[in-house]
Amino acid sequence: MSPPAQAIKFSRSDESQTVRFHVKPAPTTGPGEFQLKAIVSAGGQTFDRGFQVIEYPHIRRYHIYDRAETTLKVIDVRMPASLTIGYIMGVGDQVPSAIEQLGAKVEMMDAENLAWGDLSRFDAIVTGVRAYERRADLRANNSRLLEYVFNGGTMIVQYNKFEFNDAQYGPYPARVSANRITDENAPARILAPHDPLFTTPNEIGDAAWKNWVQERGTYFLGEKDSRYHDLLQMEDNFPSNKGEKSGILVEANYGKGRWVYVGLGLWRQLPVGTDGAYQLLANLISLPKAPAAPAKASPSRVKTKR
């Protein structure tokens, strides 16, 4: 950690100061979780808690105290060098910061980028959660993104709700459904085990589906043209959601490029440090650097242990 300590001095009661510490794991650090704590020493006393004020007109003021600590996680993820990713934010998520943690450069795309920017400079373009609902500029300029894919680009579309069905935004006809997998431990069946999305640069095996939180995903791609290819199937353990679900992870070749729909809730898994979510994200944005998948591949089953 650099520096090991910071000295601060206040001249009045309402003053605040921000100090920064750079924390970097040693080269020999292996995967795992590590606790990081902050301690302030003043007047011979030490302080290691902070508080959040909760106050509304209809209740008393409350102070919620918590220790000044956080958990750092080291994850084994491989990535190619020098990727530049364009990101179209939707309703809001933390996926861009996760991509930066993987070592790629992220550029947030605004209306000007979408209307007349040079899209060819991006290795991949990612749309944020429910971006087609939130971004009128995305809907208006979607044809430019499809042209980008046709010319060899990679576009990764995170889940959308039914507003995606108001027009044809994919390269071929498709509709978003209400299908979901709510059991975060639901077994995963990989339908294309040799596809680079599951092999390059990270091997997606049994461990990638462990320690997910809340759910696997939602709003999967439903009815779709035969030129879309399902890469993954799952089945809930809940009687009220019987049957295998597809549309979770769907790929289509369009011209020279790839268009991928991601119903998996990576946006929910990344902030909590789910290892497999980072490995899957790394493989998604690395697709432009990956070799083409074999023409024929037999499906295999990959199941988590409960």
Q: Which of 300, 232, 223, 303 is nearest to 266 (CA)?
A: 232
- Report pLDDT digits (tens) over 242-272: 999 999 999 999 999 999 999 999 999 999 9
- What is the tens place of the pLDDT at every residue in 113-149? 999 999 999 999 999 999 999 999 999 999 999 999 9
Angle at Cα 286 formed by Cα 276 and Cα 132, nearest 5°?
A: 85
Say how far apart CA 113 and CA 116 lie, in whole Å: 6
Q: At residue 93, does pLDDT exceed 80?
A: yes
C-beta neighbour count of 50 within 10 angstroms: 14
Task: Please tell me which residue, 158 or 299, carries the higher pLDDT value.
Answer: 158
Q: What is the pLDDT of residue 23?
A: 87
Cite the DSSP H helix spans in the chain.
95-101, 111-116, 131-134, 136-140, 142-150, 266-269, 275-285
Q: What is the pLDDT of residue 303?
A: 41
d(CA 128, CA 126): 6
Tokens of 22: 């750079």
Model pTM? 0.87
The set of residues, in sequence order, having a beta carbon less than 8 Å from that of 193 and lying 6+ positions away, is: 199, 297, 298, 299, 300, 302
Per-chain mean pLDDT for the chain: 93
Whether pLDDT at 295 is above 70: no
DSSP-derived 3-state class of residue 73: strand
In the chain, pLDDT over 90 holds for what percent of residues?
86
What pLDDT is stored for residue 294 in this prediction?
61
Residue 288 token pair:
């432009």
Which domains does the chain possess?
1-74 (no CATH), 84-302 (3.40.50.880)
Q: Output the six-digit token pair for 90.
A: 């939707």
Contact residues for 108 (Cβ-Cβ < 8 A; gap 6+): 87, 89, 96
